[in-house]
Amino acid sequence: MSAETIGLAVIGCGTIGRVRTVLATEYPGVSWLGLCDIDGEAANGLAADTGADFVTTDFRELLARPEVTAAIVATAENEHVDPIMAAVERGIPLFIEKPLATDPVESERVLAAIEDRGVDAVVGYTQRFRRRFLTVKQRLRDGQIGEVSSVVTRAFMNRMVPIATLRKTDRRDALTPMVVSGTHSLDMCMWLMEGKTPVEVYARSCDPVLGELGTKDSTFGIFTMDDGTLWSMNISWALPTIWPGAVYGIEIGIVGTKGVIDIEDTHRDVIIASELPQGAGYVTKGYAAEAPRHVDFIGSYPPGDLSDGLLWGPMREETMTWFNRLTMGVKTPHATAADGHRNLLLTMAMDLSARTGRPVSLPVAAEDLLVTD
């Protein structure tokens, strides 16, 4: 269902919530803006910067406002469930930063509520909006490499993200490289392999650097799909903080029966090296990188890049396209809530296989993925 204007509630005013809120001020169809964050200073600061109409530290108070017709949930990963469920009660469209929940049983409950209420909910998988991936998706739709038979995925990240993420919470069991970050490259490959269903995964992890923070350094796994396609899904988020990638780079190789597509999304095509520090790369409140970065892969910050005070890149495309979805009812490539739940279960299945040292048959029940050790 479309509407002429949007009364937007943004719950979570941190790094990504701020980006999407600023973008909302540029969209003419957003007629009312309300903000919420448990950190009143963050909420009030963003409200001052964007001219928000309402600001609070209580998401229920915000969602009760009659002006609200859509909501963005951009809180910390462990804090998504309650605001999502409150918004679902109102039946308003949702943009949810991944995941739906970090507990697979809670994620299942959230998805059921969304589907039962018929809420149009999308999940933030920003890389779907990079031009190269949209183009590859169309080439695959057109059958230009025949039937896909194997896929290889490699994601490399500096360790700023896990350090900053884990320092915000004591609930670290489910905050693994796959659940928090590998989910982006996993979602991309599942989107590109649309129609194929994983039936088994076998994975291994190691933790020599980040084990002291309660997470793994790397997770490598092999998925077998229902048609025999093999997919190697690998991530390491333990690279040094001085690694030139602001966050991460992805490489994906897709082999088909009539061709191959080789995707390099590492951003090594434009590099700056300077005697001057190049910024912290990943920036979030309460975290400062241990050492300056003097080399930067320009374009490697997933949301995009600032130019003359405006953000340009996939997060602009993703956010503005969502607004078009709401106001004009256009078809968009956003990940659905069902996609988000599936991605969580697959990443946690990799973690389960790595913990047990055994292959995991898929699909797997949410209860079987709970971390108990």
**pTM, full prediction:** 0.93
Instruction: Report the distance separating Cα 247 and Cα 285, nearest Å.
Output: 16
Instruction: Report the distance separating Cα 153 and Cα 252, nearest Å.
Output: 5
Q: Is 39 left (phi over 0), alpha (psi -120 to 50) or beta?
A: beta
Strands (DSSP E) along the chain, which ranges? 6-11, 30-36, 54-56, 70-73, 94-97, 121-124, 148-158, 198-206, 218-225, 230-239, 248-256, 260-265, 271-273, 295-297, 305-307, 310-312, 335-336, 360-361
Domains in the chain, ordered, with CATH? 6-126+317-335 (3.40.50.720), 128-302 (3.30.360.10)
Q: Which amino acid is at 217?
A: D
Least Cα distance to 246 among 289, 286, 280 occurs for: 280
| Chain segment 204-247, per-residue pLDDT in tens | 999 999 999 889 999 999 999 999 999 999 999 999 988 999 88
Omega before 363 within 30 of 0, i.e. cis: yes
Counting beta carbons within 10 angstroms of the beta carbon of residue 91, is it exposed (0 to 12), middle (13 to 18) or buried (19 or more)? exposed
Q: Which residues contact 256 (CB under 8 A, 6 or more apart)?
A: 145, 146, 147, 148, 149
| Chain segment 269-320, per-residue pLDDT in tens | 999 999 999 875 656 666 667 778 899 999 998 899 989 989 999 999 999 9
Question: What is the residue-averaged pLDDT of the chain?
Answer: 93
Instruction: Report the distance separating Cα 183 and Cα 185, nearest Å.
Output: 6
Query: Which pLDDT score is estimated for 2?
Result: 47
Phi (first) and psi of residue 121, to 5 degrees: -120, 130
Strand partners, 56: 36
Q: What tens-digit pLDDT sequence spans the chain (373 residues)? A: 445 799 999 999 998 999 999 999 999 999 999 999 999 999 999 999 999 999 999 999 999 999 999 999 999 888 999 999 999 999 999 999 999 999 999 999 999 999 999 999 999 999 999 999 999 999 999 999 999 999 999 999 999 888 887 877 776 677 899 998 999 999 999 999 999 999 999 999 999 999 998 899 999 999 999 999 999 999 999 999 889 998 889 999 999 999 999 999 999 999 999 999 987 565 666 666 777 889 999 999 889 998 998 999 999 999 999 999 999 999 999 999 999 999 999 999 999 999 999 999 999 999 999 866 5
